[in-house]
Chain A
Amino acid sequence: MIGRLNREEILRYLGYKDSGVTERIEQLLNRCEAETLEILQPKYIYRRFRIEKCDDGIQIPGTALVLTGKDIQEHLKNCNEMFLLGATAGIELDKRIRRYMVTEPDVGVVMDSCGIQAVEQIADLAEKEMEQEVLAEGCHLTWRFSPGYGDLPLETQRELIRVLDTHRKIGVSLTGSCLMMPSKSVTAILGISDTRRDERKNKCDFCNNRERCAFRKRGTRC
């Protein structure tokens, strides 16, 4: 499903700025990328829904999912329909990272970043499929917007993963504090609109952690 990982992104997650990548680190990156790709269990699920405005925000008729806050309304302002997406890199990666954090933590840390990059790519693949579907209808997709962005509460995850039945379909569930397990998983909301999407807004604008973000302090983004 995925042939290569994006090396620049991985380096960025690791806090790399502009010092040279030594040969030793290069070898480490090669090893971790190969191993990540080998044990990756990519899975995704998406479903298309008609959406309606309601008192609290936006709802999906026939389900208990309600999206609250002004940011998601802005995000879906030209949309009558949307996709919900869930994607995961699988549980084996978590196990392997746990193991390396005990025996070779340098490998563990790099694998962790490789996993984050991998699940982004899996979500990209799913997005391409969705895009093809809507392009055929002359429509476009919005960017991916996730629970926890802006003023859309993280707790929205509960209903979102229930509506997608992710536990059963792709093996993704939540912990008591709304964290996804396997840890390398993402969920997203993509609007379907008849207008082309804007240039990507700086996603930091939506981020609740912008004031404290270590990436921003280094002059990059996550």
Chain B
Amino acid sequence: MLDFKNKITMLDGGMGTMLQAAGVPMGKVPEALNVTHAEAVIDIHRQYIEAGADIIYANTFSANRYKLSYSDYSVKELVTAGVVNAKKAATDSGRNVAVALDVGPIGELMEPNGSLKFEEAYDMFKEMMTIGAEAGADLIVIETSTDLLEMKAAVLAAKENTSLPIFSTMTFEKNGRTFTGVTVEAAALTLTGLGVDAIGINCSLGPNDIYPLAQKLVEWTPLPVIIKANAGLPNLNSGGYDISAEQFAEQMDKFMDLGVQIIGGCCGTTPEYIREMKKMLARREAEGRTANRPAFVQRAAVCSSTQVVEIDGVRVIGERINPTGKKLFKEALLNHNIGYILTQGISQVEAGAHILDVNVGLPKIDEAGLMVEVIKELQGVVDVPLQIDSSHAGVIECGLRIYNGKPIVNSVNGEMAVMEKILPLVKKYGAAVVGLTLDENGIPLLAEERYAVAERIVRTAESYGIPKEDVYIDCLTLTASAQQKEVVETLKAMQLVKERLGVKTVLGVSNISFGLPKRELVNVAFLTLAMAHGLDLPIINPNVAAMMAAIDSFNVLYNRDEGSKFYVDKYSKIVEAEKNNQAAAPAAKPSDTKSLEYAVLNGIREYAAEATRELLKTKQAMEIVNEILIPALDKVGADFETGKLFLPQLIQSATTAQEAFDVLKEYMASQKDAGTVSKGKVIIATVKGDIHDIGKNIVKVVMENYGYEMIDLGKDVPIEKVVEAVQQTGAKLVGLSALMTTTVVSMEETIHALREAGCDCKIWVGGAVLTEDYAKQIGADFYAKDAKQSVDIAKNVLG
């Protein structure tokens, strides 16, 4: 194998351009030429080797199962032929030339942006890579990727099924992001962590436009960096590119100063471009010009694919996605109410959380399945990185596998058995990890003892190859009302850990005040003290304004918030808003029955909660539902039907009623024997193959606010999952949605499967292409043209 770590390595240039120039017929897939026109392909490889390439990419870029599904060839035929052709050219040359299996994107977007599942992508990559390795490829290049999660699936497929070195290059736009929003920094952090052998940038731009991105890349990874640029910008119609081989080489020269070690050309480049780059390298050598790559500084940082959070100051971890002690959250988990969990996540991010802890552990629940689903769904709506929190290694691994970016694992402790289970996972998936300063003997009381556990964790992590910058030590908060003497030991231990180990610290804060009145006062004081003793990552509820205010103030007092800019900006806006509220409030002070009705009729969300609380002083919860909310919603529904109101207004009224329902649900959860506001369970899903879920979501929101307990299975729902859900929950009503003629087929199959399984439930359907007749024809009980009619059906079936 070539030594690409200690010397400059030359790659080849464009394949497509060369094939077109060779005048071979371009059919459905260019890889078919590996079989039909092997000589032409081999000749192109030969030209690149003659021009000076040390590594040539086999013509296998799109030879995956998805892209070949409409071709006459199998993956095995085209990948094998591609590698064999390249090897022939390499062997014939008599030089030491390596052959790379070239792996491009599958061609379909992955969840949550598209419908391709992680494991499906993994399987397709695995197939290509196993075949490529068998055919004799010397390394695997995964390139032109715009989705970090797809890249991760490919890297794992390569590592788990072959022993070949992995080059990984992604395609960015001028703004430094890929089409799916991945930043250079996030790609570098994640892929370095996953253990690829070289990272880089290819395609899309010419060298000059890639340069600023390469500057960032060399700073964010210690690995060899690859640049395979286009020959400038394309002319869309002629297919030509706008810079010459000489210009290209000249532009590439400055990348060598940055310490880029692996170079080549992408679209529009030819052997001429490679030859010019070889000349450029020779010139540099003759002039004695050497690279000057900045020394790599390991950072404490985690990321999603779109957002890097560097822990160079206090960063807030939101604690709310956790069922412990939360009745509504437990209920949401049991009912598979992902929407509720997402709302908890989004509201914490809006309140300023930098990272979200995710814990979905409950007895008798499929924790691994739920962890995967919640991570996927959360990453579809928020950008912040996540902390995977579970006491089961299996759950942690499932989460780590499909997480898009570099997450935190919560947690290990000083017990060897725990570390031996969890740390290999942390290393394999390139995560950061929380280390709790306790072990099989419990929590040591004294600071020095806790420090000793911390040191053991950090050293053990290092022995697994996890840098100490990725270990965050938790010195453990004890409850002041029970162990008052030891509270200060936590603070002391944290200081020792910071000073002697130089690692970041994390702490769950609110346990401190358990059993005390006015807990928030103690929490704020403890948080402030902890930050002064070196706390980097408080785990708190960011929706408590006083806690966030303590952090904001700390950043001012410790000169972290330069010029108090953040503080002034945030709090002057709050002052402003308070003023406006005071000015506006008297006009519509909600205090009686009329105002809740008024709020729902007019969709004035902000008054609903207060009006409901007020009403609860004089009315039963069910009275409020039956006498005020439902009649008001009925009136809105009727006005919608006659065209007096339109869709956004219907939804505004529904979400206003939702605010009222939330208050009622909370109230009832707090009362023993108060019963429930539920009018029955309803399952709702967008059928398999269909990912249009807006219509389904509208129906869900509106029905929820009539008091139906909506179990939302999401979109693209497999038929078995619908049947399973009906059997498990005993729901008597099932709603199916499909937008396209093509997916009505799977709607029919789902209905058929429900009947077949003997489910005792009514089924109603909706979607743009359906009609009353069509619905009957595919076996549904009812057809609803909109959310209003769906409610009428539910009233009819469930009451």
Contact = CB atoms under 8 A, between A and B. Distances in A.
Interface stretch (A17-25, A136-144, A186-194): A17-25
Contact of A171 (B28, B179, B643, B654): B179
A101 B743 contact: no
A174 B743 CA distance: 15
Contacts of B604: 24
Interface string A81-96: 0000000001110110
A212 B648 contact: no
A15 B694 contact: no
Interface string B187-204: 000000000000000010
Contacts of B646: 11, 14-17, 19
Contacts of B698: 105, 109
Interface in A170-199: 170-171, 173-179, 181-183
A35 to B, nearest CB: 15
Interface in B33-86: 70
Given A14-B648, A212-B768, A178 B742 contact: yes
Counting chain A CB atoms within 10 Å of each CB, which of B339, B603, B648, B655 scores highest? B648
B364 to A, nearest CB: 27
B181 A154 contact: no
B380 A175 contact: no
Contact of A174 (B108, B690, B785): B108
A176 B647 contact: no
Interface residues of B, number: 64
Interface stretch (A1-9, A45-53, A71-79, A117-125): A45-53
- Of B105, B236, B785, chain A has the most CB atoms within 10 Å of the CB of B236
A175 B114 contact: yes
B689 A177 contact: yes
A interface, size bucket? 35 or more
Interface in A155-181: 158-159, 162, 167-168, 170-171, 173-179, 181
Contacts of B770: 212
Nearest to A104: B655
B105 A167 contact: yes
Nearest to A48: B237
Contacts of A19: 643-646
B694 A109 contact: yes
Nearest to A175: B115
A179 B179 CA distance: 18
Contact of A24 (B109, B652, B690): B652
Contacts of A174: 108
B647 A92 contact: no
A200 to B, nearest CB: 23
Given A64-B27, A177-B742, A214-B785, A98 B380 contact: yes
B550 to A, nearest CB: 26
A16 B644 CA distance: 9
A62 to B, nearest CB: 6
Contacts of A25: 648-649
Given A14-B648, A46-B236, A105-B655, A212 B771 contact: yes
Contacts of A14: 646-648
B648 A106 contact: yes
Contact of B648 (A18, A47, A110, A154): A110
Most-contacted residue by chain A among B604, B740, B785 (CB, 10 A) = B740
Contact of A102 (B27, B180, B346, B652): B346
A101 B694 CA distance: 8
Contacts of A22: 649
B446 interface: no
B112 interface: yes
Contact of B113 (A64, A105, A182): A182
A106 B603 contact: yes
B278 interface: no
A208 interface: yes
A104 B605 CA distance: 10
A24 to B, nearest CB: 7
A99 interface: yes
A42 interface: no
A47 B240 CA distance: 13
A103 interface: yes
Contacts of B690: 177, 179
A157 to B, nearest CB: 11
A101 B691 contact: no
A154 B742 contact: yes
Contacts of B203: 168
Contacts of B693: 101
Nearest to A222: B768
A28 interface: yes
B678 interface: no
A108 B701 CA distance: 12
A47 B109 contact: no
A176 B108 contact: yes
A209 interface: yes
B717 interface: no
B645 A106 contact: no
A170 B171 CA distance: 12
A55 interface: no
A47 B237 contact: yes
A164 to B, nearest CB: 10
Contact of B343 (A102, A158, A214): A102
A103 B694 contact: no
Contacts of A18: 643
A211 interface: yes
B307 interface: no
A99 B346 contact: yes
Interface string A39-66: 0000001111000000000000011100
A47 B689 CA distance: 30
Contacts of B769: 209, 212
B237 A105 contact: no
Nearest to B66: A176
A24 B653 CA distance: 12
B602 interface: yes
B313 interface: no
A127 interface: no
Nearest to B105: A167
B647 A109 contact: yes
B212 interface: no
B416 to A, nearest CB: 42
A33 interface: no
B655 A173 contact: no
Interface in B575-632: 602-604
B730 interface: no
A106 B114 contact: no
B774 interface: yes
Q: Which 4 A-B pairs have the closest CB atoms?
A: A171-B179, A99-B381, A106-B651, A177-B689
Given A94-B113, A105-B698, 20 more contacts: A15-B647, A24-B603, A25-B648, A64-B27, A95-B181, A102-B339, A105-B651, A168-B105, A168-B144, A168-B171, A171-B146, A173-B107, A173-B108, A176-B115, A177-B742, A177-B743, A179-B690, A183-B691, A208-B741, A212-B770
Interface of B: 25-28, 70, 105, 107-109, 112-116, 144, 146, 171, 179-181, 203, 236-237, 339, 342-343, 346-347, 380-382, 602-604, 643-649, 651-652, 654-655, 689-694, 697-698, 701, 740-743, 768-771, 774, 785
20 contacts: A24-B652, A25-B649, A47-B236, A94-B113, A95-B380, A105-B697, A106-B655, A109-B698, A158-B70, A159-B28, A171-B179, A173-B108, A173-B114, A175-B109, A175-B114, A177-B689, A177-B740, A179-B691, A209-B768, A213-B768
